[in-house]
Chains A and B, each alone.
Chain A
Amino acid sequence: MPAEAVLELLRRNDPARGLEPLDAAARERVRAAIVAAPLPRPRPRFGRAVLVAAVAAAVLAAGGWTLYKAVFAGPTAQDVRSDFARVTRTIQLPPGARWRVPNLDEQGVYPGPQARIIALLQATCAWFAYWRTGDAGERASALSAETRIRGLMPVHREGMSEDAGGFDATSFQAYDAIVAAQRRGDPAPTAVYLRANC
């Protein structure tokens, strides 16, 4: 088959060709719920003159783009990489483990704690693997580190947007269940986690 015909064949096999649009009432409920959602935190309310002076000074001092990005936009891929480099300096890995620089879409949309989440997931993999292959002393170190990692995990509360990132309650419960199994000496949940995530 000519490569040119492939896209046409796929279009004929589009599963959404018969997809009914959402009915008007449901659509309006979605729209209304969205526009009723709170917007990102507004800028502090300064007097106009103070605001103009502050913006001008900041533009001169730090560059307009940096300010714009910090105030109005979410983290870029470069921000996430920079944050990752900073965050990883504060999280200990087991002996022999190395951080992997995240592979990110350059124009992706990232939640604020993305770098921390990536680092904590990497650290979780490293310490879980260390626990699985470790002797008694190494397992004790791993358990101690895993407790510290848990304390660093940003919380994703019920009802928050996925855009906010973080670990939800079920993730914490499940993490705790794996660590509890480790304390009992049961390696099975750790092995499953490593196989699926690391």
Chain B
Amino acid sequence: MESAPTRTERFDRLFAAHFDEVRAYAWRRDPATADDVAAESFLVAWRRLDDVPADPLPWLIGVARNVRLNALRSERRRAALDARLARTAAQEAVEPEHWVSEDVGAALAALSERDREVVLLAAWEGLDTAGIARALGCSRANASLRLFRARKRLAALLDDPAPAPIGGASDAC
């Protein structure tokens, strides 16, 4: 009879299976902090191992997102308090034009931050709507609706790069 895996063994499996994906998630958003964000995210996973669900990637992405946003908020506080803030944290958080072809980057930059986040989680992290909902902490229906809208908006922006009114949604997702 096989004995139950130890805590370390369970963690090692999680780490082996998903560290690269979490690091890639963080790298896509900010290469400079990717390794730190990935390590910090798995430290959270180690401490909360019993909370990790059967499908762990969306949960891990959600943790990495929170780690990244916490770090950004912390950096923003420091920068603001030092009176040296040139850009908002939201601008710092996403600079897709640095990562992709010029037209795609410009279209992504024209999306609202929330729309961009949803569409990139689907495209780059390969999450389905249930996974996006888990990562962002919103309902599946909300994630589905937001992804649908974001894809349409991005498609329209790619067809017509001129600034177009982009409806801002105020739901929690």
Q: Which chain A residues have a beta carbon within 8 Å of chain B's beta carbons?
A: 1-7, 9-11, 13-16, 19, 21-22, 27, 30-31, 33-35, 37, 39-40, 72-74, 77, 103-109, 111, 161-163, 165, 167-168, 170-171, 173-175, 177-178, 188-189, 192-193, 196-197
Contacts and interface: CB of A to CB of B under 8 A. Distances in A.
Interface magnitude class on chain B:
35 or more
Contacts of B85: 192, 196
Interface in B125-171: 134, 136-138, 148, 151-152, 154-155, 158-159
Given A3-B155, A37-B46, A73-B51, A174 B81 contact: yes
A30 B42 contact: yes
Given A13-B104, A31-B12, A105 B151 contact: no
Interface string B72-100: 00101111111101001000000000011
A15 B158 contact: no
B122 interface: yes
B122 to A, nearest CB: 6
A6 B82 CA distance: 41
Contact of B158 (A1, A16, A19): A1
A109 B44 contact: yes
Interface of B: 8, 11-12, 15, 19-20, 23-24, 27-28, 35, 38-40, 42-44, 46-48, 50-51, 62-63, 66-67, 70-71, 74, 76-83, 85, 88, 99-101, 104, 119-120, 122-124, 134, 136-138, 148, 151-152, 154-155, 158-159, 172
Given A7-B151, A34-B46, A163 B67 contact: yes
Contacts of B77: 167, 171, 174, 197
Contacts of B62: 105, 107-109
Given A163-B70, A174-B81, 15 more contacts: A2-B155, A7-B151, A9-B158, A10-B100, A10-B119, A13-B101, A16-B27, A16-B124, A30-B19, A31-B42, A72-B50, A74-B48, A107-B137, A171-B78, A175-B81
